[in-house]
Amino acid sequence: MRILRPNPRRAGIGAALLSFLIWGFSPLYYRALDSTPALEILSHRVVWSLLFTLALILPMGQWPALSGVFRAPRLLLTLLPSALLLGVNWLAFIWAVNNGRALEASMGYFIFPIVMLLLGRWFLGERLNRAQQLAVALVVLGVLNLMVLQYRLPWIALLLAVTMGFYSLLRKQAAVESLVGLTVECLLLFPAAILYLAWLAEEGTLVFGSRGAALDLLLAASALVTALPLLLYNFATRRLRLGTVGLIQYLSPSCQFLLAVLLFGEPFTRPHLYTFLLIWGGLLLFSLDSHRRLRRELQAPPVR
């Protein structure tokens, strides 16, 4: 009898696909909450995510790592700004989806890898090769195109890309496992979130508990929307090459793009088309260059 053994790569691909699909279709979740103010949704996301991650930390034996963060002032000082950036990013995305700007939000996550290239160049001294420089130029041209033809700055896209870029840069410097890091970030945001919810309750404008159990359950489910894809993503990155994960990550903004245009009916004008074509061209160059460099590294003889 043949025993089937689990395939780590197949499991990793499955986890990566599921994580990016959850992120990609998350606008559907936030649209279901569009009767709730964005700031209240954000506050619930912080509170319920904290409870969920703490419930995972304890059985997974991560409590020493969590308590260790609070005994390391430098690490805590790194996670404080990362928590603020994460909060701004979450709020901007929620607001965008519920105010007819999901298309622009998808643009932000498309240009995020290019923002990371620039941050690596400016803050880590990483050099850009010609393909990367051209990719950056195409994305910049895409953003400028939308500014010139529509007379407005795509600030939601830039805010999402820049906050996530600086967040990733800070987390790269923080020697902490991602679940522990997310728990600490939620802990740091928790006082403001719970005080805001208490103020809403005092004012009689708190949505939670006033519009039925279904909406309350949806708000509590923000913990799953936040933590589950992150856990799946971490599972995937331990089993796949980063180049593979990098290619799969475009699934998330692609789903958001399709939802915005096909389901939400957001306007997709000719300037939008030109802008996205320039951005996609830059991403194609970036992806091909990353794939080429990864193959070269894998084919290089080991250093003895």
Structure confidence at residue 5 (pLDDT)? 54
Model confidence at 302: pLDDT above 90: no
Structure confidence at residue 242 (pLDDT)? 61
Mean pLDDT to the nearest integer, 168-174: 85
pTM of the prediction? 0.89
Q: Taking all residues of the chain, what is their mean pLDDT, rounded to a whole number?
A: 88
Structure confidence at residue 163 (pLDDT)? 94
Model confidence at 4: pLDDT above 60: no
Distance CA 89, CA 168 (A): 12
Give pLDDT tens digits for 230-281. 888 878 877 777 667 777 888 899 999 999 999 999 999 998 999 999 999 9
Task: Tell me the range of 38-52, 64-78, 124-138, 231-245 where mean pLDDT is highest.
Answer: 38-52
Residues in the chain: 304
Structural domain boundaries in the chain: 11-291
Task: Tell me the range of 45-54, 56-65, 288-297 where mean pLDDT is highest.
Answer: 45-54
Mean pLDDT to the nearest integer, 208-223: 92
Structure confidence at residue 176 (pLDDT)? 86
